[in-house]
Amino acid sequence: MERIFTDLKHIFRRGDVLADFICVNIGVFILLRLAGVLFMLFDVTDIYFLHYLQVPSSPSQLLYRPWTLITYMFTHYDFLHILFNMLWLYWFGRIFLQFFNTRQLVGLYVLGGIAGALLFMSAYNVFPYFRAVADTSYLLGASASVMAIVFAISFYRRDYEIGLLFVGRVKLIYLALFTLVIDLMAITSTNAGGHIAHLGGAFLGIWFASRMRAGRDLTAPFNRLIDRIVNLGKRKPTMHVSYRRTESDHDYNARKHKESAELDTILDKLKRSGYGSLSAEEKKKLFNAGKN
């Protein structure tokens, strides 16, 4: 545990993307909990503002709150929920960054979260089992995003091993597959939406790994889109160069003829008597002619 806190201090000091994600998730969690306390003080039991951050299972509700496809993956309200999500993000995010860059981590986090949300919505509107709660169910948490990272690195480096307490060394892919089986068995539990979202993130992570093994980056189009959005309001500076001659054609031709004659005289002197015979002014004219 001491090593975890030491590594976290280094991460926050460096200010890398893992620190950014952890800070955003923790910051949103703290704000929501404080707002919840305030609501309870005024005897308000319905924390309705969460509905504007969670992604709904109803497509019609999503049309009015499209931003929730992004906000839900940074939103937690239970302490154990955010604790385990951030620990997994920290552990597997560090492993991921040994083989990939921060842009790919950001892209996979967001795409994995979107994949989890879309699978959650699809399942709740397709299977009759969820029909009774299809219009009143919501999803929140970074689990799908984290699962995308876990499965991406597990399937990209199938021989990668980690040490588990009381178990010893185990290949990462076995841990990922065990998690996948647990989620499959729990899709009819009280937290069905969360487990379905895990599967969406996991499948996206597997897809990312397979494309990377083939030399294709699944996150590249998303990152290019983000770059365009960020640079949309930035206007590229343009440089206008104009040339204006302050002398007439006659004067210009006369000046160039005179300079050419002077240069011929200097070259003749250089040929007869050597470079040391030239005056400082003649050397300067010869040097300037060499630059043109």
Whether 32 maps to a domain, the answer reads yes
- If one compares 256 and 290, the residue with the highest pLDDT of the two is 256
- For residues 283 and 178, membership in a common domain is answered with no
Whether residues 141 and 276 share a domain: the answer is no
273 and 183 belong to one structural domain:
no
- Note the pTM of the prediction, 2 decimals: 0.75
Provide the residue range defining the domain that includes 30: 2-231
Is there a single domain that holds both residue 145 and residue 88? yes
Q: How do residues 59-80 score in pLDDT, each as one tens digit?
A: 999 999 999 999 999 999 999 9
User: Is residue 44's pLDDT more than 90?
Assistant: no
Q: For all residues of the chain together, what is the average pLDDT?
A: 85
SS3 49: helix
Cβ contacts of 205 within 8 Å, gap of 6 or more: 108, 112, 147, 148, 149, 150, 151, 152, 153, 154, 155
Residues 150-186: b if buried by 16+ CB within 10 A, e if exposed: bbbbbbbbeeeeeeeeeeeeeebbebbeebbeebeee
Six-digit token string for 141? 């948490």
Count how many domains the chain has: 2
Least confident of 9-18, 21-30, 94-103: 9-18
Q: Give the pLDDT confidence of 139-180 residue by residue, as tens digits.
A: 999 999 999 999 999 999 998 888 887 778 889 999 999 999
pLDDT score at 90: 94
In a domain, 240, yes or no: no
The mean pLDDT value for 248-276 works out to 69
Are 18 and 153 within one domain?
yes
In DSSP notation, 153-222 reads HHHHSTT-EEEETTTEEEEHHHHHHHHHHHHHHTTTSTTHHHHHHHHHHHHHHHHHHHHHHTT--TTHHH
pLDDT score, position 9: 56
Check whether residue 125 and residue 263 sit in a common domain: no
In a domain, 130, yes or no: yes
Give the separation between CA 187 and CA 223, rounded to whole angstroms: 32
- Say whether both 27 and 81 belong to one domain: yes
